[in-house]
Every structure is written in structure tokens, then in C-alpha cells.
Amino acid sequence: MSNCITATAPEPVFLEPWHAQVFAVTVALNEAGRFDWPDWADRFSNTLKRNGLNKELDGGDDYFHAWLETLEALLAEQGDAGQDEVTLLQGAWEKAYLTTPHGKPVRLP
């Protein structure tokens, strides 16, 4: 099917690597029983609804921004990852990228 000459290039499932990562983290937490899927879907729908009030959502980046926002709020609420902790680690990762020579694997110290 994919080598049919009339077929257009398949759209990638995830447009950005972080879309795939945040998706996978969410599915992994669901598999580990940290929350059930209908609850997740409900929260995510509410974020989309809220975000869609002010602008027209594009279904791509907007969608995964809303996804990340929902996951952060849920994890903060459950005490699994507080906002301060996330900000701290985010800064640590940023520093790691900016101080790792190009081409070397980026790791936290």
C-alpha cells in the first residue's frame, strides 16, 4: 500500500518528538494505574474546551500543548510531580543542553 505511486507521503503520527514523548508518558502512567483513561480524557477535553474559547485550535501543536498542560495539572494535583519540581528540573535540563558540547549526549549532572 505504501509503495503505491499515487499515495501521498504518509503523515507522521507525531509532528514533534516532544508530542510523542508526552503522549507516551501519559499512556505509561495510565498503564501503571496512576489514573484511568476516561478520567484523563475528561480532563483533557476540558483543557481543549477552555483553550478553544479564545482562539481557533489547529489540532497540531495546540493539541499537544493542551495535552501537556493537562498532564502537568493532573500530576501536580496527585502529588506525583509538583510545579516547583518541574520548573527546577526544566531549568536543569536547559542548563545541561546549553553546557553540553554539540554532538555529545545531554545528561543531567
Partner 1 sequence: MPHDHSDHPHALLPPEPALRVKALETILTRKGLIDPAALDEIIDTYQNKIGPQNGARVVAKAWSDPAFKAALLEDATPVVAELGYYGRQGEHMVVVENTPEQHNMVVCTLCSCYPWPLLGIPPGWYKSDAYRARAVREPRRVLAEFGVTLAEDTAVRVWDSTAEIRYLVLPMRPEGTEGLGEEDLAALVTRDSMIGTGLPKEAS
Using CB under 8 A as the criterion, which residues of the chain lie in contact with partner 1 when the complex forms?
Answer: 1, 4, 6, 11, 13-18, 20-25, 27-32, 34, 37-38, 41-42, 44-45, 48-49, 52, 56-60, 63-65, 67-68, 71-72, 75, 80-81, 85-90, 92-94, 97-104, 106, 108
62-90 burial by CB neighbour count: b if 16+ within 10 A, else e? ebbebbbbbbeebbeeeeeeeeeeeeeee
Q: CB 77 → partner 1: shortest distance, Å?
A: 14
Residue 15 or 77: which CB sits closer to partner 1? 15
Tell me the CA end-to-end span of the chain in Å, nearest whole number.
Answer: 47
